[in-house]
C-alpha cells in the first residue's frame, strides 16, 4: 500500500508549490523510496492544451501524449522519471467524465452530486496511482485554500484521511510569510488565517512550509507552530534561493523535511545521497565562462511560456561549467529593426515552438541570419517549420513558400492557397499521410526518429533511433524532400513508420539543426539533452 502526502497552498498563488513538491519527490527518491507525483488543477478546462501561454505558461507534453501543467516539467526534472496522463487532472476532466456517465445512465437514476460523486471520482484518481511498488504518492492541489474551485478537492482529502490509517496520510501546507518593508516586520497572520481556513474544512496540516524572502528566526517559527498547531520542527522555512531553483531540495533537506515525512509516515529509509545533485549545483553556481544565446519567440515577456527551453539551455551550459546568458527576443522586434541590429553579439540562436502567423517573419529573419552568418542554430517544432520555409524561399527559389497554417479558409476556398500547391512546403496530413487542406491529425506524445549516419544529429545523440515528444499539427511536405536535399539541407531524422521529416540540418554550417519534436521536455539537470549540448558546444566555439 502506498502512503499519501497532500500539498496545499495558502495566502497567494505562485508560491512555487510545484517546485517544492518536486523537491520533496527528489529527496524521498534519493532515500531509495519509490514515488509517484500528481498535480490536481481546479479549473474547468479539460486540459491546458487549449489555454493561452500568456495565461498559463508552457504546456508540458508527456511521452503518452498528455498536454499537462508545467509543474509536471518540474516533477520530471527533479524526480527524474517520466510523467503521463495519470499524473495530472483538472476539475473539467472530472466533470466531463461524470456527465458522460450520467448520460449513459450509469448512476441508475440517483441524483448526481459533488459529495459523493465528484469527490469519489477525485479519490479514484489518487487510487489509480497506488501500486505495490509505489511507496509515496505526492499530491499537489493547484490554487489557494479558500478558492471556490478547490473545495471539492479539500473535501475529498478530508474524507480520504478518515478512510486510511493515520500513518498513511500526511498534509503539508505551504504559505507566504510576507515582509513589510516600512515597518521592517515579518507577518505570520496570513499564514495563520490560511491554516484556519483549512481547519474549517477539517484538514489539519502536519507540516507548514513558509515561503519568505527574509531570514526567519526561531521565535517566529515557534509562533507559527503555536498558532497553526504543528510542532516547531515541522515549520520549514523556504527562503528564496540565491542562485538556482535546484537549491530548493537542499534547503528542505537541511531542515530535515524528508526525515519528518518519513517519520510521520512510518517509512524506514536511509539518508539521501545528493552528491550528484550538489555537483550539478556547484557547476551552475560557479560558472567559468558565459555563452550568449538568443531565444526568438512570441510569448517572450512571460518566463513560464518557454520554461523547459530555458531549463534545457541551463542544463547544457552547466555540463560545461558555462552560464547561458539568454537574450529573450520578441520575434516582432526583428521584423521592425532587422536581425543584424537585434542579434548582434549572440553566439547561438534558438527558435522555440509556436502557433500562428504573428512573429513568423521575425523568426525566419533570425534563422536566415544564423544560416548566412554561420551562427549555431537550434530550431524546435515551429522552429523547424520556419527553417524549412526560410530555406525554400531563399535557397530553393520559392519566394512565396508558406505554411498552410498561415492561410485562412477564405484563401483556400477562393483558390489562393492550397496544400497541393508547390509553395506549400509545410502542410497538413491525414492519418493515411495524404496532404490535405484542412483537418489533419495532431501528433502528440513520443514518436520514433531514425537518425542518418554522418549527421550532426546522429553524432549528438550517439545512437541510431531516438524517441522524442511531439505537439503539432503541421508537417514538412514530403514532396519537397528531394528539393531540400538537392540544395544542401540534409534530412537527418525521419519517422521510421510514416517517413515524416523529424530533423533537418545544413551541410555547410557549423551547427544548424532543427527538430519537429520538443527535446526540451526530456532534458534533466544532471543529464542535459544531446541537441542542447550540441547547440551550446557549437556556440561556445563561435
Q: How far is CA 163 from CA 158, 397, 416, 450, in A?
A: 9, 69, 64, 50
Phi, psi of 161 (to 5 degrees): -60, -35
249 and 78 Cβ atoms separated by less than 8 Å: yes
Pick from 382, 249, 419, 399: which is nearest to 306 by CA? Answer: 382
Among candidate residues 381, 386, 396, 449, the one labeled active-site is 381
The SS3 call for residue 5 is strand
CA distance 103 to 67: 26
Contacts of 394 (CB under 8 A, 6+ apart): 368
CA distance 223 to 185: 14
Q: How far is CA 289 from CA 43, 343, 499, 540, in A?
A: 43, 20, 41, 9
CA distance 316 to 524: 9
68 and 43 Cβ atoms separated by less than 8 Å: no
- The distance from CA 19 to its chain's CA centroid, rounded to whole angstroms, is 12
Closest separation between CB of residue 502 and ligand GLN, Å? 13
Nearer to ligand GLN, 13 or 434 (CB): 434
Does an H or E element contain 171, and which?
Answer: strand 169-176
Nearer to ligand GLN, 42 or 354 (CB): 354
Nearer to ligand GLN, 292 or 473 (CB): 473
Nearer to ligand GLN, 160 or 382 (CB): 382
Closest separation between CB of residue 472 and ligand GLN, Å? 3
Cross-strand partners of 447 = 468
Nearer to ligand GLN, 16 or 353 (CB): 353
518 CB burial (10 A radius; 0-12, 13-18, 19+): buried
Residue positions counted in the chain: 542
| 58 DSSP 8-state letter | P
Q: Is 518 one of the annotated active-site residues of the chain?
A: yes
C-alpha cell at 217: 528566526
Q: Given its phi and psi angles, is residue 229 left (phi above 0), alpha (psi -120 to 50 degrees) or beta?
A: left
Nearer to ligand GLN, 9 or 440 (CB): 440
Nearer to ligand GLN, 54 or 107 (CB): 54
Q: Is 228 one of the annotated active-site residues of the chain?
A: no
C-alpha cell at 482: 528531394
456 and 505 Cβ atoms separated by less than 8 Å: yes
Nearer to ligand GLN, 3 or 471 (CB): 471
The SS3 call for residue 131 is coil
Nearer to ligand GLN, 178 or 440 (CB): 440
Pairing of strands 435-436, 424-429: antiparallel
Q: Is 381 one of the annotated active-site residues of the chain?
A: yes
Does an H or E element contain 138, and which?
Answer: strand 136-141
Binding residues for ligand GLN (CB under 6 A): 353-355, 381-382, 405, 471-474
DSSP letters, 226-273, are: HHHTS-GGGEEEEEPPSS-GGGHHHHHHHTTHHHHHHHHTT---PPP-
Q: Max Cα separation, the chain? A: 75
Minimal CB distance to ligand GLN: which residue?
A: 353
CA distance 534 to 33: 34
Among candidate residues 247, 335, 405, 520, the one labeled active-site is 520
Nearer to ligand GLN, 95 or 355 (CB): 355
The CB density around residue 120, as the number of other CB atoms within 10 Å, is: 13
Closest separation between CB of residue 405 and ligand GLN, Å? 5
CA distance 472 to 284: 33
Q: Which residues are catalytic?
A: 381, 518, 520
Amino acid at each position: 500500500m502506498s502512503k499519501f502526502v497532500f500539498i496545499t497552498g495558502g495566502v497567494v498563488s505562485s508560491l512555487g508549490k510545484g517546485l517544492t513538491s518536486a523537491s520533496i519527490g527528489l529527496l524521498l527518491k534519493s532515500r531509495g523510496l519509490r514515488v509517484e507525483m500528481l498535480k490536481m488543477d481546479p479549473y474547468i478546462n479539460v486540459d491546458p492544451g487549449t489555454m493561452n501561454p500568456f495565461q498559463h505558461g508552457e504546456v508540458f507534453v508527456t511521452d503518452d501524449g498528455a498536454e499537462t501543467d508545467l509543474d509536471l516539467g518540474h516533477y520530471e526534472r527533479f524526480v527524474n522519471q517520466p510523467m503521463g496522463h495519470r499524473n495530472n487532472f483538472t476539475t473539467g476532466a472530472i466533470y466531463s467524465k461524470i456527465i458522460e456517465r450520467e448520460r449513459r445512465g450509469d448512476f441508475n437514476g440517483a441524483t448526481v452530486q459533488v459529495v459523493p460523486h465528484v469527490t469519489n471520482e477525485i479519490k479514484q484518481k489518487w487510487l489509480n496511482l497506488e501500486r505495490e511498488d509505489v511507496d509515496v504518492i505526492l499530491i499537489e492541489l493547484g490554487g489557494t485554500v479558500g478558492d471556490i474551485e478547490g473545495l471539492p478537492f479539500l473535501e475529498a482529502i478530508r474524507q480520504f484521511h478518515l478512510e486510511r490509517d493515520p500513518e498513511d496520510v500526511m498534509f503539508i501546507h505551504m504559505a507566504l510569510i510576507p515582509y513589510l518593508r516600512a515597518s521592517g516586520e515579518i507577518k505570520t497572520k496570513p499564514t495563520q488565517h490560511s491554516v484556519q481556513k483549512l481547519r474549517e474544512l477539517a484538514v489539519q496540516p502536519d507540516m507548514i512550509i513558509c515561503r519568505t524572502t527574509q531570514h526567519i528566526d526561531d521565535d517566529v517559527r515557534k509562533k507559527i507552530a503555536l498558532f497553526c498547531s504543528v510542532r516547531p520542527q515541522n515549520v520549514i522555512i523556504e527562503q528564496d534561493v540565491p542562485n538556482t531553483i535546484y537549491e530548493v531540495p537542499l534547503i528542505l533537506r537541511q531542515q530535515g523535511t524528508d526525515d519528518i515525512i518519513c517519520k510521520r509516515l512510518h517509512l524506514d529509509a536511509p539518508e539521501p545521497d545528493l552528491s550528484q545533485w550538489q555537483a550539478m549545483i556547484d557547476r551552475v553556481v560557479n560558472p567559468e565562462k558565459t555563452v550568449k544565446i538568443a531565444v526568438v519567440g512570441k510569448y517572450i515577456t512571460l518566463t513560464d511560456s518557454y520554461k523547459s527551453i530555458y531549463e534545457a539551455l541551463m542544463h547544457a551550459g552547466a555540463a560545461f561549467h558555462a552560464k547561458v546568458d539568454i537574450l529573450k527576443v520578441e520575434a516582432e522586434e526583428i521584423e521592425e529593426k532587422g536581425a543584424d541590429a537585434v542579434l548582434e553579439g549572440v553566439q547561438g540562436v534558438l527558435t522555440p515552438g509556436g502557433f500562428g502567423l504573428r512573429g513568423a517573419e521575425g523568426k525566419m529573419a533570425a534563422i536566415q541570419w544564423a544560416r548566412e552568418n554561420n551562427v549555431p542554430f537550434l530550431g524546435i517544432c515551429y522552429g523547424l517549420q520556419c527553417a524549412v520555409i526560410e530555406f525554400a524561399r531563399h535557397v530553393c527559389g520559392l519566394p512565396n513558400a508558406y505554411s498552410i497554417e498561415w492561410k485562412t479558409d477564405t484563401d483556400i476556398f477562393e483558390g489562393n492557397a492550397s496544400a497541393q500547391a508547390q509553395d506549400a512546403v509545410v502542410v497538413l496530413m491525414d492519418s493515411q499521410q495524404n496532404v490535405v487542406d484542412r483537418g489533419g491529425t495532431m501528433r502528440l506524445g513520443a514518436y520514433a526518429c531514425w537518425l542518418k549516419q554522418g549527421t550532426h544529429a546522429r553524432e549528438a545523440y550517439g545512437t541510431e533511433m531516438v524517441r522524442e515528444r511531439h505537439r503539432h499539427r503541421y508537417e514538412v511536405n514530403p514532396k519537397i524532400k528531394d528539393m531540400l536535399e538537392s540544395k544542401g539541407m540534409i534530412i537527418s531524422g525521419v519517422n521510421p513508420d510514416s517517413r515524416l521529416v523529424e530533423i533537418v540540418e545544413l551541410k555547410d554550417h557549423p551547427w544548424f539543426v532543427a527538430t519537429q519534436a520538443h527535446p526540451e521536455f526530456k532534458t534533466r539537470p544532471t543529464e542535459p539533452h544531446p541537441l542542447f549540448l550540441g547547440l551550446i558546444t557549437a556556440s561556445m566555439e563561435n
